[in-house]
Amino acid sequence: MRTILASAAAVLAIVASPAVANTETVEIRVSVADLDLNTAAGRTALEERVAREARKACKIEAAFDRAPEKTDWDCVEAAKSAALAKVDRDQNTDVAMAAE
């Protein structure tokens, strides 16, 4: 299974490891610097970016050259959930620090 981690609020880093036997780790960065995550439009844009990058990171290589690639959908869902939860935690921390 692949895991997702997020760094600071400005960049979301997706770290994915394939579910296949020869595991590797892939890190993908998704910029959120141009998004206002306090709006529905900003949140939707974030979710779309995370989903797109998670699908890319969770591709399973085909055993044969002509075989189609497959997507590990459990990986995609876990990656999206972890990334969005991390963004929410980071946002709540930023709000709490601003209130002090």
**Residue whose tokens read 């997706």:** 14
Nearest to 84 by CA among 96, 92, 73: 92
More confident residue, 14 or 47: 47
Tens-digit pLDDT profile for residues 27-74: 777 888 898 988 999 999 999 999 999 898 888 877 776 777 888 888
Tens-digit pLDDT profile for residues 3-13: 444 443 445 55
C-alpha of 67 from chain center: 26
**Sequence letter at residue 87:** V
Percent of the chain as helix, strand, coil, to the nearest 5: 45, 15, 40
Residue 86: strand, helix, or coil: helix
The confidence score (pLDDT) of residue 21 equals: 45
Res. 25 pLDDT band, cuts 50 70 90 = low
